[in-house]
Structures are given as structure tokens and as C-alpha cells.
A and B are shown apart, each in its own frame.
Chain A
């Protein structure tokens, strides 16, 4: 009897948790807000607080949000912006846990794309459709496949685009005056300069492997149209084969890899390696201006093609202030905010607007927007931009790289 008593508490807790499993999230009345006239959305948003969950890892992005966006939202719409940190997979975890606990939402707006969007849609955790109703949505460059499809998924009004970027390598023009310009040249360069190249283990590093997969596996077309296991197997084998062939020339003989892109930048800035990389072709420009990367650091595209993608804003299904979130998303789509964000000294994040749809004076202002002399030309960016494919490619390639390359260090 005495021993049985000890079991009571765990049994009670398990029971409570199992009951929580079956708990259904309350049907959000917030769905109705998405269907209201814009004026009443604005009226409801006035005087409210919007909690925006986003990646807070870049000081220039933080400065744009905190010092430029937030004061304007307060002044024009009476919205107080509260920014809280969070990243893709973590947001999915948080929202599922909130739903299980039947808790009120802790965020109104989410910065998402790709696999996070897929997971949130699969779990039915996003509010929508609302994005097409934003007044500034009429300026979006809907002809661009990069913006109109998020990793081949139709946003369907469940997320609103607010920026686009293209993957680029980063090199130091003082140390590497004649950098490799294709995957084949990069392989030869690595062999000739042992210990001076690596990639990280996080999202950026895995995206680099996906670029190799396109280049070595016959182009992005082979992987388009949903996940195909045969195409994947062939693509994976060619990438992992390439890595194995050149591994001895990697930093630390390819026995260890930096955890994230921040560590990769640090190794590059300290001269331990000669290349870094970034999801945003302009990150090198803003990091040079901030003094984080050497003044001679430059972006580099490989001729085999790079990856371009857009990033979006979503509203969680348990948001407390969906009206406020919609107003913030609309403001971020405005020509004014898109132009400010594009400036190299601010963030240099690509605009998602079709400039030809804009009224004057915005069309002229976009045309006159000064570019950094070291930035890549729009022509090259367009020529080498390849769209993202089904998120499962990224998932599977990450898993296979971890098991077959990372966990098998040649000693």
C-alpha cells in the first residue's frame, strides 16, 4: 500500500497530460477579423500591442525593427510593437505546446518560411487566409516564382512576403584575389589550399549542400515538382561524394564543423578560413560596414546557380491581436518600409515589390536607390537565382550529411 502511494502523483500527472493531448484548441474568433473591412481592422489595431516573434541574431535587423519600424507603428497606427526572440523550429514547438496547454497565444506575428511554414500549416497553427487582403499586397511582385512559392508551397494567404534574399559565398579579395566561380573550381581550390574552407552545421551550411546538389545533380529542374526519392538519392550521392573527395582539404580535415554561421563568420574574420557564406547576398556588405568582417570581404556567386528564397510573416491561430498583426504586416509591405530595408546601411534585404506597379514618387525612389559599389549586380543575381524545392529535400539531406559525413570522421 505504501509503495502504491508513491505512484499516485506520477499517475495523476500522466493522466492530466494524456487528457491534455486530446484537448482541441478553441475555435479562434480571430478568423473573422481577416474578413473584416480594412478600416475596422485599423480601428481594432489602434491602441493595441503586437508581439512579434522573430530571429534576433543580427544587430542591423534589430536596429531596423526597433528604431525605424516600431516608432512609426506607434505614431501612425497607435500600435506598440513588442519583439520577442524565436526561430523556425522553436516556434513550431512553442505553438504546439501552447495548444496542448490550452494557453493563450504568446505571439501575434511570426517571421517564417519554408519548412516552418510547412510544419505550421500541417499542424493547422496558422491563421488565414488574410495576406491577400492587405492594401499593400497589390504591389507584390507576384510574377516572381521566388516570392509566389515558398519552397514550392502556395502561401495561400496564410503568410505575407516581406523580403527576399539570394545565397552567396563570402571571400576576402585581399587573400583570394581570383576566387573560384563554379563548384568544380571551388573543389580544385579546396584541394590546392588545404584547411582554408568549411561550412557550418546549421541551416546555412545545409543550404550550401543543397546548392551543390542542384549543381552536381543536373540542375534544380531535377528536384522540382514535390519530393522524389529517386531524384533525391542520386542528388545526395553526388553531393556526399563531392564532399568526401575534397574533405581532406577542408578546415580541420573535415573532422569538425562550426555550429552556426556566426562561428563561420568568426573563423573567416580571424583569418582561420578564407570563405564564409550567407543566406543573404548583402550580409557581407552590412557586416563590412559594421566592422565585423574585413573591408576587403566580398560576396560571390557560383555560376552553377545559387539559391534564392523569400521570407514571410504569419499569424498564429492563437494570436491575441490578429488585427494589429495584419496592420504591421501591411506596413512592412509598404514601399516606404521596403525601400528603407533595402538600403545597404540598414539591412540590404531584397524588396518583394514589383517596382513597375508602384505609383510615383516611389518608382523613382526605388530606381534611384544607391547600391553599395561591392554589391552584386541585379543582373547576376537574377541569372544565378534558383528557387527552393520541397522542404523534404533539405530535411533528408541534413539527416544524411549528419549520419554519413559528420559522424564518420576519418581519424
Chain B
């Protein structure tokens, strides 16, 4: 009975996703959607023929890796440093989760206002006399390395990870840490032997989710990313809303590639987890 219930739940969750995948697969070979003209692999050929694809994919993977790593590190540090108890740590924890209700679009706009070459940071640096004019500020948005985008995405995703880290330490961490201290472990040793493994294992699924989300996110990317390389989500949307409907098939190819990135991240995580289980 329980198995049947679980199967039904899995079916309900999977159906919309599978419909989407099936639609994209059919649309990518010209069987469905705007501009479809019957079976053809032309969209696959022209998507892979375009050097923008690999560079955009590589760039999106870089941004997603960097933003996820930054957000994870920040979440671990904040959760480890600010334990519940004192008022100052309560304030710090509250500040940490502040960006959580903000939409990604709003975070992107905030990024433009703060990090742009006419933004708050540039004006502040100019007033402080560090640069001769606001425009002399190094480019942090629309920049080749995606620094501004990485910072904004890390800032936006970090509270999500921090909340999970808080609850992990409250649930399991505290008792284990106390046990370690009773056994004579000191500050840093407790962190590396107990706190870090508890956080790391517990956070991993959420970290994978953040990575997959960030790799495909559109709103902040369109506001902060450069036009070359063009991030995968931007390239996908550009194809999907191209003036010529013939490009729609390519958009679906790119959607499937984005999907492979997400599935790849989950598969890597599952493999690592299985190895971890075998090792312990």
C-alpha cells in the first residue's frame, strides 16, 4: 500500500516534468511547436554548429559553480559562527536570511544599482577619492567573468543554504559537538571533525539544487551578464523569442542541454553519496 502511494506521488511529481521533456524532445526535431516543419535534425546540427553554445554552456557552468561555492562557504561560516543564544547572533542570523523573500529580478536590479559603473559602489569610491571618476570603476556587471552576477546570485542563494545549515546544527550538530568536547576536542578540531561533516553531508542536496537552479536562472542573468559569452539561459530565451520562428527548435535543443546539466549535477551527487555510504 505504502509502495503504491509512493509510486503515485512519484508519478504526479514526474508527469509535468516528463511532459515538458517530451515536448522539448519532439519540438527539437521539428515535430511540434512554432516553426515545426516535420521531422528534421537540423536544429540539433545548427545548435552544435554555433560556437556560442559551448562557450555559453561553459560560462554558465563557471558562474553556477562559483556562485554556489561562495554561497555554501558563507552559509557554513555564518551557521558555525552565529549560534543561537546571544542577541548579537540573533541579529546576525536575521540579517543573513534577509535576501530570502526578495525575487531574483529584484536582486538583479539591486545588483545593477550597486555594482554598475554609475552605481552606488562607483559613486562611493569616487567620493572617497579612490578613483578619478565613477566611470573609472572596474566593470563588475556585463563583465567577462560575471563577477557581479556571481556576487548577486551567491548573496541571493546563501540565505536558503544558511537556513538549512542553522537547522542542521540545531538538530544534530549540537549534541555531537558536545560529545566531541567531552572527549577533549578543542575549537578548530571540533569544527573539522564534527561541525563541518554534519554541515557538508546535510547541505549537499540543497547545494546541488542551488547549482542546478543558478545554472539555468534567467532574471538576474539578463540584467547582469555580458553578451559574450552569452549565458546558456539567455541563449535559450533568445532562440525561443527570435524574430524567425525557425530558431524555436534550437531553443528546445538548448533546453534539453540545460536539463542534462541539472541531471548531471544530481547524478554526481548520488554517486558521491553512494561512495560515501560504502566508505562508512
Contact = CB atoms under 8 A, between A and B. Distances in A.
Nearest to B235: A402
B248 A13 contact: no
Given A9-B11, A17-B32, A92-B34, A409 B18 contact: no
Contacts of A394: 243
A20 interface: yes
B33 A97 contact: yes
B228 A256 contact: yes
Given A17-B26, A123-B34, A272-B117, A395 B243 contact: yes
Nearest to B221: A259
Contacts of A137: none
A119 interface: yes
A406 B228 CA distance: 6
Contacts of B222: 259
B226 A256 contact: yes
Interface in B24-71: 25-26, 31-34, 36, 50-52, 55
A100 B248 CA distance: 15
B244 to A, nearest CB: 4
Given A21-B31, A255-B144, A407-B51, A13 B228 contact: no
Q: How large is the interface on A (under 10, 10 to 19, 20 to 34, 35 or more residues)?
A: 35 or more
Contacts of A20: 32
A252 B227 CA distance: 11
A201 interface: yes
B228 A18 contact: no
Interface string A195-229: 10000010100000000000000000000000000
Contact of B22 (A14, A263, A391): A14
A270 B227 CA distance: 20
A93 interface: yes
Contacts of A122: 245
Contacts of A271: 118, 135
B14 A403 contact: no
Which of B23, B36, B223, B229 has most A Cβ within 10 Å? B23
A14 B26 contact: yes
Given A252-B139, A255-B226, A255-B228, A13 B52 contact: no
Given A255-B144, A272-B117, A119 B245 contact: yes
Nearest to B246: A395
A96 B229 CA distance: 31
A89 interface: yes
Interface string A397-411: 011001100111101
B245 A256 contact: no
Interface string B94-126: 000000000000000000100011100000000
Contacts of A100: 32-33
Contacts of B34: 92-93, 96-97, 119, 123
Interface in B144-194: 144
Contacts of B88: none
B22 A89 contact: no
A55 to B, nearest CB: 12
Interface in B236-278: 240-245, 248
B228 A407 contact: yes
B19 interface: yes
A266 B117 CA distance: 11
B32 A10 contact: no
A375 interface: no
Contacts of B118: 267, 270-272
Q: Which 10 A-B pairs have the closest CB atoms?
A: A270-B118, A96-B34, A256-B226, A89-B241, A395-B244, A115-B243, A256-B142, A13-B22, A409-B228, A257-B227
Interface of B: 11, 14-15, 18-19, 21-23, 25-26, 31-34, 36, 50-52, 55, 112, 116-118, 135, 139, 142-144, 222-223, 226-230, 234, 240-245, 248
Interface of A: 9-10, 13-14, 17-18, 20-21, 87-90, 92-93, 96-97, 100, 115, 119, 122-123, 195, 201, 203, 252, 255-259, 263, 266-267, 270-272, 391, 394-395, 398-399, 402-403, 406-409, 411
Given A93-B240, A255-B228, A257-B227, 5 more contacts: A17-B32, A89-B243, A90-B241, A100-B32, A406-B228
24 contacts: A9-B15, A10-B18, A14-B22, A14-B26, A17-B23, A17-B26, A17-B31, A20-B32, A21-B32, A87-B241, A89-B241, A93-B33, A93-B34, A93-B248, A96-B34, A100-B33, A115-B244, A252-B142, A255-B226, A256-B226, A259-B223, A271-B118, A391-B243, A406-B227
